[in-house]
Amino acid sequence: MVITGNNLQKMLNFFSQNKTITTTNKGRFKQGENSEVKNSEFNGNIEIGTNCFIENVEFTGCIKLGNHVNITRGAILHGNIEIDDYTVLSGPSIDIFTLFDKVKIGKYCSIARQVTIQEGNHQISTVSANFPQRFFQPDIDRRLGYNSSGNIEIGNDVWIGAQAVIVNDVTIGDGAIVGANALVNKDVPPFAIVAGVPAKVIRFRFEKNIIDILNKIKWWNLNPNFLKDNLDFFNQPMSIELAESFYEKISLSENYY
Ligand SMILES: CC(C)(COP(=O)(O)OP(=O)(O)OC[C@H]1O[C@@H](n2cnc3c(N)ncnc32)[C@H](O)[C@@H]1OP(=O)(O)O)[C@@H](O)C(=O)NCCC(=O)NCCS
78 is annotated as an active-site residue: no
Query: What's the structural domain count of the chain?
Result: 2
**Strands 116-118, 29-31: pairing kind:** unpaired
User: Do residues 95 and 214 both lie within one domain?
Assistant: no
User: Do residues 170 and 62 both lie within one domain?
Assistant: yes
Concatenating the DSSP letter of every residue in 218-229 gives: -GGGS-HHHHHT
Nearest-CA residue for atom 9 of ligand 1: 202
pTM of the model: 0.91
The mean pLDDT value for 212-223 works out to 96
For the cut 60, the answer to whether the pLDDT of residue 4 exceeds it is no
Catalytic-labelled residue, pool 30, 122, 200, 203:
122
Where helices occur in the chain by DSSP H, the ranges are: 5-16, 133-136, 208-217, 224-228, 232-235, 240-252
State in Å: Cα 142 to ligand 1 middle. Answer: 39
Query: When comparing pLDDT for 103 and 18, which is higher?
Result: 103
The mean pLDDT value for 151-168 works out to 98
For the cut 90, the answer to whether the pLDDT of residue 3 exceeds it is no
What pLDDT, on the 0 to 100 scale, is given for residue 64?
98
What pLDDT, on the 0 to 100 scale, is given for residue 14?
40
In a domain? residue 164:
yes
Bridge partners for 62 per DSSP:
45, 80
User: Do residues 184 and 171 both lie within one domain?
Assistant: yes
In a domain? residue 21:
yes
Query: When comparing pLDDT for 5 and 110, which is higher?
Result: 110
Dmax over Cα atoms in the chain, in whole Å? 76
The mean pLDDT value for 218-241 works out to 96
CA distances from 137 to 124, 126, 132, 140 (A): 19, 17, 9, 6
End-to-end CA distance of the chain: 65
The mean pLDDT value for 142-166 works out to 95
User: Do residues 61 and 87 both lie within one domain?
Assistant: yes
User: Do residues 246 and 173 both lie within one domain?
Assistant: no
C-alpha to C-alpha distance for 206 and 136, rounded to whole angstroms: 56
- E strands, 22-93, where? 22-24, 29-31, 36-38, 40-48, 53-55, 57-65, 70-72, 75-83, 88-90
Nearest-CA residue for atom 43 of ligand 1: 161
Nearest-CA residue for atom 14 of ligand 1: 202
What pLDDT, on the 0 to 100 scale, is given for residue 257?
66
Q: Say which CATH number the domain at 190 has.
A: 2.160.10.10
- When the pLDDT of each residue in the chain is averaged and rounded to a whole number, the result is 91
In a domain? residue 1:
no
Q: Taking CB atoms and a 6 Å cutoff, what residues make up the pocket around ligand 1?
A: 112, 161-162, 177, 179-181, 193, 195-196, 202-203
Residue 231, C-beta contacts closer than 8 angstroms, at least 6 positions apart? none
SS3 label, residue 212: helix
Query: When comparing pLDDT for 254 and 207, which is higher?
Result: 207
Instruction: pLDDT band for 2, please (50, 70, 90 cuts).
Output: very low
Query: When comparing pLDDT for 5 and 170, which is higher?
Result: 170
User: Do residues 117 and 227 both lie within one domain?
Assistant: no
Query: Which range of residues forms the domain containing residue 41?
Result: 14-122+134-205
